[in-house]
Every structure is written in structure tokens, then in C-alpha cells.
């Protein structure tokens, strides 16, 4: 079976000849670590490590107020930038990681309605999509044997980057009408973006949505809040994908177990990355959800960072063999991304374990 066939089968909750293989790598891993360990410059990790999937494209709502965009501060280490939503972030130049939140403009329903709502509704999604470049990337990607996904944010991530965490979390409880209006418009813009791409570029093999619903101690909002404020909009967008027979992978950091049933109801086919540090264990989850979901991830990156080969073997084979014994659909990868703290030789050792034990 090709990589495309294996991932398609797993996302359909079927059991192919082997477990799938995918990975994510922190930016600057070459510059900060692996380059000095012998990895050639410009290495394509998907090809070099024989991964099964390939991502391309990125969908998010175009900034409605380009007049607000500006570089606020810059030095050798960082750049502080304000975007077209009036949100300001610090981006690091030589290391990966989440941008630091500095400040936000859309912090009340009054500001939203007065300064942004009409601009968002009238925004042309084509302005944020380079269709000719997308077409060229698409042709190259689909010519390979790898499973190709288009990627994008969804409303929880859009709220976070536009409103900031404090305003977002307070408004979800205290300003439900504003949040419903905001999320409806944001979701509509996502639908318009994907409809444009599907009609003028083509259909991928699947969709990979980024939607961080949790942190190390639990979910950001209650299941009841999620079902009222988030689930209806997930369903709207996911229904579009289902109309095109596209399987849906949902990436979420943190402990999102309280929202698993809602994700299934929305139409998710696969969950990723199941961070081990939050207490999530893919084998335990599969005992309940293996007929409803494919699973991607949960290999504890802290074991890889330790350099302890016995610990690496126990972590990797424990979960790989556990999923095989359950005959649960599984795509093997870390519980988020490979950091520069993982030695290249230890990552390669993990892959040796995988290839020697990956057949169902």
C-alpha cells in the first residue's frame, strides 16, 4: 500500500497493513541542533524520514484592517509586530515557540461592531490566497504517494489570536451574543476560503484543522460552553468538508478530553496530538473511541529528549504495540512536535523501533 492508501484507510477507521507515520518539527531545529549533528542543510524531513503525510496551504480569515499593521519594535532576537486586527505579538527570530501576546484591540463588542465587523464581512478572501502558487504546490503534492492535507485554523484559534485569551474566555461566558455573531462571521469566511480553493485549485486528500482547546491542566472551557459557543460552528465548517468526502484531522494541544464527544459529533475523523504531559494516553482513549476516531500522536517527547534508550523504547513500543493489540487506527508521531532538545540519533532510533514493529 502507498502512504496515501494507508492514511486514507486509517482515517476511515479501517486497519491497513501497518500503522501510519507522521511528525512535526519545531522551527529552527536545523539551526539550533540537527545541523551540527550532521543533517544536511535544506533536508526535506517528509522525504528523508519517509513520512506518510504532506501538508500544504493555510487558511485563516484575512486581516480586515491592513492600515493597523506595523512593526512596533525589532532587534537581532525578536520582532514585535501589530497585525491587521490590531493584535500585537512578539516573534522570535532564532527559536520556535508560540508568539508572545503583547496587546489586543478587539476587546469589546462595541469595538467589534464599530471598527471591525463590517470590514470582516466585506473582506474578499481571495486577497489572502495566492491561487497560482497554491495551484503549483497542489500539483506537486498530489503527484506524490503521500496523503495531502490542506491546513487551517478554526474559531477557537481565531478568537485567541484576534481577541486574546482573557477577552476570549470572559466573553464566551459574559457576552454570548457577541461571541455567536463573531464566530458565525469567522466561520462563514472560512467556508468562503475553502470553497474558493476547492473550486480553483482542487480537492486534497483530507483537511487538518488547528484548534487548541486545552492546556496542561484541562480544557479552556466547560463541555457545556463548548457545545453552545463552539460546536455549532465546527459543524458548519466540517459539513462543507464532508460534502466533499474529505476526512478531518483535528489538532489540539492540551487536555481536550472533555470535548471528545463534541469533536466526534462535529465530524472529526482523527485527533492529534494528545500531549502525554496532560495525562492523555492514546491506548486508554482507543479503548473507548477506536470505532469512532483515528488517533495521531501521544509519543511523549520528554522520553525522546531524555536520551535514555530504555525509556524511549518503553514509551514508543508500549503505545505502538498497545494500539496494534486493540486493532485501533493509529498514526504514530510525537505528542506535539520534535524539539531541538531531541538528538537526531535518538529520533532515528525511535524510527527504527517503529519500522520493526509497525505492522498490524
What strands lie across the sheet with 206-210, from one edge to the other? Answer: 20-21, 330-332, 294-296, 270-273, 248-252, 206-210, 147-153, 53-59
Identify the pLDDT of residue 293.
Answer: 98
Per-residue pLDDT band for 95 (boundaries 50, 70, 90) equals confident
Q: Is it the case that residue 94 has pLDDT exceeding 90?
A: no
Per-residue pLDDT band for 97 (boundaries 50, 70, 90) equals confident
Which strand (E) or helix (H) includes residue 252? strand 248-252
Cell numbers for 261, please give them: 464527544
Identify the pLDDT of residue 58.
Answer: 81
CB pairs under 8 A, 24+ apart, for 126-133? 126/196, 127/62, 128/60, 128/61, 128/62, 128/193, 129/59, 129/193, 129/196, 129/197, 131/196, 131/197, 131/200, 131/201
Average pLDDT over residues 266-279: 97
Q: Tell me what the pLDDT averaged over the chain comes to.
A: 96
pLDDT tens digits, one per residue of 317-348: 999 999 999 999 999 999 999 999 999 999 99
Identify the pLDDT of residue 128.
Answer: 83
- The residues, ordered by sequence, that sit 6+ positions from 190 with a Cβ below 8 Å of its Cβ are 59, 60, 61, 152, 154, 237
Which strand (E) or helix (H) includes residue 55? strand 53-59
pTM for the whole thing?
0.97
Q: Report d(CA 268, CA 234) in Å as an integer.
A: 9
Q: Is it the case that residue 85 has pLDDT exceeding 90?
A: yes
Q: Where in the chain are the domains?
A: 3-62+124-357
Cβ-contact 253, 273 below 8 angstroms: yes
pLDDT tens digits, one per residue of 26-61: 999 999 999 999 999 999 999 999 999 999 888 888
| Number of residues in the chain | 360
Q: Report d(CA 338, CA 17) in Å as an integer.
A: 26
Note the CATH number of domain 3-62+124-357.
3.20.20.210
Identify the pLDDT of residue 197.
Answer: 95
Average pLDDT over residues 261-284: 98
Q: Report d(CA 200, CA 205) in Å as an integer.
A: 16
Q: Report d(CA 272, CA 336) in Å as an integer.
A: 8
pLDDT tens digits, one per residue of 119-156: 999 999 998 888 999 999 999 999 999 999 999 999 99
Percentage, residues of the chain above pLDDT 90: 95
Identify the pLDDT of residue 297.
Answer: 98
Per-residue pLDDT band for 350 (boundaries 50, 70, 90) equals very high
With cell 480544557, the residue in question is: 219
Identify the pLDDT of residue 101.
Answer: 96
CA angle 199, 200, 201 (to 5 degrees): 105
Cβ-contact 264, 289 below 8 angstroms: yes
Q: What CA–CA distances, in Å, run from 14 to 5, 171, 269, 328?
A: 11, 41, 11, 8
Average pLDDT over residues 185-199: 96
Residue 71 neighbours by CB distance under 10 Å = 9
Positive or negative, the CA dihedral 130, 133, 134, 135 is positive
Which of these, 63, 110, 109, lies nearest to 87 by C-alpha position?
A: 63
Identify the pLDDT of residue 98.
Answer: 84
Positive or negative, the CA dihedral 193, 196, 200, 202 is positive
Amino acid at each position: 500500500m502507498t502512504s496515501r492508501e494507508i492514511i486514507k484507510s486509517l482515517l476511515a477507521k479501517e486497519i491497513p497493513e501497518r500503522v501510519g507515520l507522521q511528525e512535526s518539527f519545531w522551527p529552527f531545529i536545523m539551526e539550533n541542533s540537527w545541523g551540527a549533528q550532521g543533517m544536511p542543510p535544506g533536508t526535506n524531513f517528509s522525504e528523508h524520514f519517509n513520512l506518510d503525510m504532506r501538508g500544504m496551504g493555510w487558511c485563516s480569515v484575512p486581516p480586515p484592517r491592513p492600515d493597523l499593521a506595523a512593526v512596533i519594535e525589532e532587534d537581532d532576537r525578536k520582532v514585535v509586530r501589530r497585525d491587521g486586527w490590531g493584535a500585537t505579538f512578539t516573534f522570535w527570530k532564532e527559536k520556535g515557540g508560540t508568539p508572545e501576546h503583547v496587546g489586543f484591540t478587539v476587546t469589546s463588542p462595541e469595538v467589534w461592531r464599530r471598527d471591525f465587523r463590517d470590514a470582516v464581512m466585506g473582506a474578499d478572501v481571495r486577497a489572502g490566497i495566492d491561487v497560482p502558487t497554491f495551484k503549483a504546490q497542489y500539483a506537486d503534492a498530489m503527484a506524490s504517494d503521500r496523503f495531502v492535507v490542506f491546513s487551517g485554523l478554526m474559531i477557537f484559534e481565531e478568537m485567541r489570536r484576534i481577541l486574546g485569551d482573557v477577552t476570549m474566555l470572559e466573553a464566551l461566558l459574559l457576552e454570548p451574543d457577541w461571541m455567536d455573531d463573531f464566530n458565525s462571521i469567522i466561520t462563514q469566511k472560512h467556508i468562503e476560503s475553502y470553497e474558493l480553493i476547492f473550486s480553483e485549485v482542487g480537492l486534497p486528500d483530507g483537511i487538518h484543522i488547528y484548534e487548541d482547546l486545552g492546556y496542561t491542566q484541562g480544557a479552556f472551557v466547560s463541555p457545556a460552553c463548548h457545545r453552545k459557543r463552539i460546536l455549532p460552528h465546527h459543524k458548519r465548517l466540517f459539513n462543507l468538508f464532508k460534502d466533499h468526502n474529505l476526512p478531518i484531522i483535528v489538532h489540539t494541544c492540551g487536555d481536550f478530553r472533555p470535548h471528545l464527544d463534541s469533536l466526534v459529533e462535529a465530524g472529526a475523523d482523527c485527533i492529534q496530538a494528545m500531549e502525554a504531559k496532560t495525562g492523555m494516553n492514546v491506548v486508554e482513549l482507543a479503548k473507548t473511541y477506536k470505532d469512532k476516531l483515528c488517533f495521531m500522536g501521544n509519543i511523549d517527547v520528554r522520553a525522546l529528549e531524555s536520551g535514555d534508550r530504555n525509556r524511549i523504547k518503553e514509551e514508543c513500543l508500549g503505545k505502538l504495540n498497545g494500539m496494534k493489540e486493540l486493532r485501533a487506527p493509529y498514526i504514530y508521531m510525537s505528542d506535539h512536535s520534535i524539539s531541538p532538545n531531541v538528538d537526531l540519533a535518538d529520533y532515528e532510533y525511535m524510527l527504527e523501533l517503529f519500522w520493526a514493529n509497525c505492522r498490524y
